[in-house]
Amino acid sequence: MNADIVKRVDVIEEKLDEHIKDSSEERIRKVRADILDFGNACMNGRPHTKEEFEFVISECDQYEKHIEKLQIKNGVATATIREIRRLYEKHLQNNTFLKEGEDGQ
């Protein structure tokens, strides 16, 4: 009887581990897509607020930690992250972020 319970617990733990892994992978794919989308918008001249940049940069930090932990290389996202940070610094130095309430068009 105990062996049956242990087996059931093992199956549940395996399923839970798989679900956590899938969820984590889905989250990191979404973060990557958001970073690439934001970078593309920047490169197409769409202005952003300081807060938008800071949020995306925090997502970049999270993404970079994840790919470093898993030892994954991702040249496209890495180049986009570098460009986002460069633009952030440029806007910070020149105070040219989109201001709240301004039209970004």
Question: In this structure, is residue 49 part of a structural domain?
Answer: yes
Q: Which of 79, 30, 90, 86 lies closest to 59 in space, CA to CA? A: 30
Structure tokens at 29: 């794919």
Question: In this structure, is residue 103 part of a structural domain?
Answer: no
Question: In this structure, is residue 15 part of a structural domain?
Answer: no
pLDDT number for residue 105: 59
Question: In this structure, is residue 44 part of a structural domain?
Answer: yes
Question: In this structure, is residue 51 part of a structural domain?
Answer: yes
Question: In this structure, is residue 35 part of a structural domain?
Answer: yes
**Residues of the chain under the 50 pLDDT cut:** none
| Domain total of the chain | 1
Question: In this structure, is residue 84 part of a structural domain?
Answer: yes
39 is in which domain, residue-wise?
A: 25-94
